[in-house]
Amino acid sequence: MRKSLQTQAEMTQEFGACVFDVTLDCEDGAPVGGEAEHAALVTELALGAAPGARVAVRVHPVDHPAFEADVQAIVGRAGARLCHVMVPKVETVADIDTAARALDAAGAPQLPLQALVESPAAVHRAFDIAAHPRVQSLSFGLMDFVSAHGGAIPEEGMGVQGQFTHPLVVRAKLEIASACHAHGKVPSHCVVTEFKDKAAMAAAARRAANEFGYTRMWSIHPDQIRPILEALSPSEGAIDQAVRMLLAARDAGWAPISFDGKLHDRASYRFHWQVLERAHQTGRQLPTEAQAWFA
C-alpha cells in the first residue's frame, strides 16, 4: 500500500495530474482476525497521503461481520480524504442501500460508492445497480465470477486470453460496460494476473478499451500502471484530430461541417471533446490551442 501511494505521488509529479487512484484493500488485504488492526493502518495511510492524492478503500462485503467496523473506523476518521469506497460482492441494489446508509452514519453522505460485480446474479442486476445515484463505477470481479460457476468455466477463463474469448465471461463484461454507459457511470475492467508479462498486459488493456468499452482498469502491480495508462489514453493522432475538428466546429458556430472529406455534427463534436477529456485526465500533453479549455 505504501509503495502504491509513493508511485502515485511520483507519477502525479511526472504527469502534472493524478492519473490513477490507489485503493487500499481491507477485504483481501486484511488477515483473518486482524481486520481491526488493518483498518487502523488503512486509516493512517489515507490520512497521511499527499495533498491531491486520490485514495480509496475497499471495505468488506456488506454481509461480512467486519463491514460496519471498517466503515466506522476508516470513513469515520478519514472520509474527507477518500475519493470513493469500493464495496465487493455486491449482489443487489439493497446492498448498495446498506452501504450508503453506513457511509451516511459515518458522516460521509456525499462519498461515492463503487461496486464490484462478481457473480452471475449480480451481472443480471448490473443495470439496476448502475442506476443507483450513489454508484460511481462498476468493476468486474473476474476470478470470483469464474469460480462462482462451480467449474463450468475452465481455469483458462481467468487468463489473459480466455477472459476475452469465453462466451460467459465476454457476456458478463459487455453487460457491465453497457450498464455503466446506460447510466453515465464508469466501467472498470478486471485485473490481469500475468503481471510479469507487460506485452500481454498492454494487449489486454487495449482490448478492454477498444472492444469492450471499458474506460478504466485495475492493476495489481506497479508494473501494470503505465501499460494501462498507455492503452486507455488517446493517441497523439487522435488528440490532434480532436483539436482540429473542435476548432473548425467552433469557427462554424457548431453547425455541421465538412472535415477531412466527411460530414460531422454535434454528435461528432461531443465524441471528440470526450477524447480531449480523456487525454487531460491521463496526463497527455495537449496542443497549445486546447490547453486553455482545461485551465
Q: Residues annotated in the binding site for Mg(2+), as ranges?
A: 118, 144
Annotated binding-site ranges = 58, 118, 144
Task: Take residue 164 and report the three cell numbers written for it.
Answer: 476475452
* Total number of residues shown for the chain: 295
DSSP sequence for 44-101: HHHHTSPTT--EEEE---TTSTTHHHHIIIIIHHHGGGEEEEEE-S--SHHHHHHHHH
3-class secondary-structure state, position 232: helix
Which residue type is seen at 231? Answer: A
Query: Using an 8 Å Cβ cutoff, are 54 and 84 in contact?
Result: no
Annotated binding site for substrate: 58, 118
Between 236-251 and 266-281, two packed helices, what is the crossing angle to 10 degrees?
130
94 burial class (0-12, 13-18, 19+ CB within 10 angstroms)?
exposed
